[in-house]
Amino acid sequence: MKLVLGIESSCDETGVALYHTGHGLLAHALHTQAAMHGEYGGVVPELASRDHIRRVLPLVREVALTAGCALPDIGAIAYTRGPGLSGALLVGASIACALAYALDIPAIPIHHLEGHLLSPLLSDPAPEFPFVALLVSGGHTQLMRVDGVGRYILLGETLDDAAGEAFDKSAKLLGLGYPGGPELARLAALGRPGQFRLPRPMLHSGDLNFSFSGLKTAVLSLVRQHTPERGAPMDEQARADIARTTQEAIVEVLASKALAALDQTGLGQLVVAGGVGGFRVFYPDLEFCTDNGAMIAFAGALRLQQQEPKRDYRFEVKPRWDLQEIGTV
């Protein structure tokens, strides 16, 4: 049994965690840069990288103190190799590999989406392989068949904008702050059903792919129709109604495609999606839904149990990285 340190730094959140292969998750901590980037209306890569540098080691000390562990107790270090912002990824990778070299322990590169994919296994109850997974993370919207660790089959993906991008861009059109997705969801809770109608892109395409760029254009048209002339602000109720309609359109497409994936594969378990009777639905705990170190530490622990990595401390990051390429590395 080993203690695995996980470091996540793919975008605008610094996550660190300690996972024990025998006792489970011992401690995790997360610092979000949302307030800093909010001043610019979106992520500024250079600022993100600099902030990761400041945060990683203090968070490592914090989780070690919480778990009652010391650095020499760590048996391996897992870090996010990609995809993500290149500078941000380099911070986590370089610190992880330097620590691993100093401690003479393995350094395990992890695919960011694999972390999300496996994070529901941290919850109780947890799904069992095989299952269908709906991955909705930032710039990614994918449906995967998951047969085991490193055994992933792509069933469908977005052809342009991802669901997260549709949320963020629609939020910006409505004058909401960063991060747009949560802001739009809060406003949508105040909206009335059935006030507007937006398209459901590729809902009846006959495949499991997605497309959300057309929805963004439709939201823009709706916003313009209900914005008064001479720069006056839009009526607050109209804004809330548009937010609700936008959210309903995106969710309907995601849920419909997820159900179709279950039907196509004949599987009875769905991870990270809404559900209907006849199959079981699994969600990661809310604290593990956004980027976090726990999912990286856990994925690293699973990889470690498969095969002891070589003590090679050279590293590279992959800002673009197809999940199906990782195999059983």
The reply to whether 3-122+285-325 and 131-282 are identical in fold is: yes
Q: Which pLDDT does position 279 carry in this prediction?
A: 66
What tens digit of pLDDT does each residue of 100-150 get? Answer: 999 999 999 999 999 999 999 998 889 999 999 999 877 889 999 999 999
Predicted local confidence at residue 308, as pLDDT: 76
Q: How confident is the model over 260-314, as pLDDT tens digits? A: 999 999 999 999 732 333 567 887 888 888 899 999 999 999 999 888 777 888 8
pLDDT for position 233: 83
> Cα–Cα distances in Å, from 170 out to 191, 197, 212, 249?
15, 15, 11, 12
Give pLDDT tens digits for 154-196: 999 999 989 989 999 999 999 998 888 889 999 999 999 999 9
Element (DSSP H or E) covering residue 151: strand 151-157
Domain 3-122+285-325, classified CATH 3.30.420.40, yes or no? yes
Show me where the domains of the chain are located: 3-122+285-325, 131-282
What pLDDT does 190 receive?
97
Query: What does the pLDDT read at residue 183?
Result: 92
The C-alpha atoms of residue 326 and residue 33 are separated, in whole angstroms, by: 29
Q: Give the C-alpha separation, 298 to 137, whole Å.
A: 18
Q: How far apart are the first and last CA of the chain?
A: 20
Chain-centre distance of CA 233, in angstroms? 33
CATH code of domain 131-282: 3.30.420.40
Cα–Cα dist 254/271, whole Å: 12
What's the predicted TM-score (pTM) here? 0.90
pLDDT of residue 325: 79
**pLDDT tens digits, one per residue of 208-240:** 999 998 999 999 999 999 998 877 788 999 999
Print burial letters for 157-188: b (CB count within 10 Å at least 16), e (below 16): bbeebbbbbbbbbbbbbbebebbbbbbbeebb
What pLDDT shows up at residue 229?
A: 81
Residue 131 CA to residue 141 CA, distance in Å, equals 17
Write down the residue that tokens 């370089």 correspond to: 94
DSSP 8-state secondary structure symbol assigned to residue 160: S
**What is the predicted pLDDT for the residue at 327?**
61
Q: Give the tokens for residue 260.
A: 């179709």
pLDDT tens per residue, range 6-61: 999 999 999 999 999 999 999 999 999 999 998 888 899 999 999 999 999 999 99
